[in-house]
Amino acid sequence: MADNQTKATEQSVEEYIAAIDDESRRKDCQALIKLMTKVTRQPAVMWGSSIVGFGSIHYQYESGREGDICLVGFASRKGDISVYGLRAAPNHEQLLASLGKTRSGKGCLYIRKLADIDMKVFETLIKEAVTAKGKA
């Protein structure tokens, strides 16, 4: 069975953020670090080369595949900020419906800029996801 490629690393979160060319995106990512640190009470850690993650949780699928992944995290991508780990919130669909201008993928939420979303709803979504994973 293949190893999980996304693991916590020693890479600098500050260097990752500083390398984001767009100043507005960089500020949004800094705001996400503050918010996710506050909610999870965990420091920001690089997972792989491009995900800023907070906390960790062990998972095991029915197939037997298992590993560790961040509770919640984000990555600055070309067009959006991808946010991970929010679908664990019991009422994530209702919260996503009132969040604002976003798109959803299989396992992540895409946000163009934080000004497009309701930050109180977003904080609730993060809190509920972390709580549902038993880490609050």
Residue type for 99, please?
L
**CATH number of the domain bearing residue 101:** 3.90.1150.200
Q: Among 50, 67, 40, which residue's Cα sits nearest to residue 9?
A: 50
pTM of the predicted protein model: 0.90
Give strand pairing partners of 83. 74, 109
Is there a domain that residue 68 lies in? Answer: yes
Domain of residue 46 covers 13-132
Q: Are the CB atoms for 40 and 54 separated by under 8 Å?
A: yes
Is there a domain that residue 86 lies in? Answer: yes
* H helical segments located in the chain: 13-18, 23-40, 92-97, 119-132
Q: Among 84, 72, 129, which residue's Cα sits nearest to residue 108?
A: 84
Is there a domain that residue 8 lies in? Answer: no
Is there a domain that residue 73 lies in? Answer: yes
State the pLDDT at residue 5. Answer: 65
Q: Name residues of the chain where pLDDT drops below 70.
A: 1-5, 135-136
Is there a domain that residue 65 lies in? Answer: yes
Report how far residue 56's alpha carbon sits from residue 72's, in angstroms, rounded to the nearest whole number: 8
The total number of structural domains in the chain stands at 1
Q: What is the pLDDT of residues 1-15, one digit of tens each?
A: 455 667 888 999 999
Q: What is the pLDDT of residues 28-44, one digit of tens each?
A: 999 999 999 999 999 99
Is there a domain that residue 1 lies in? Answer: no
Is there a domain that residue 2 lies in? Answer: no
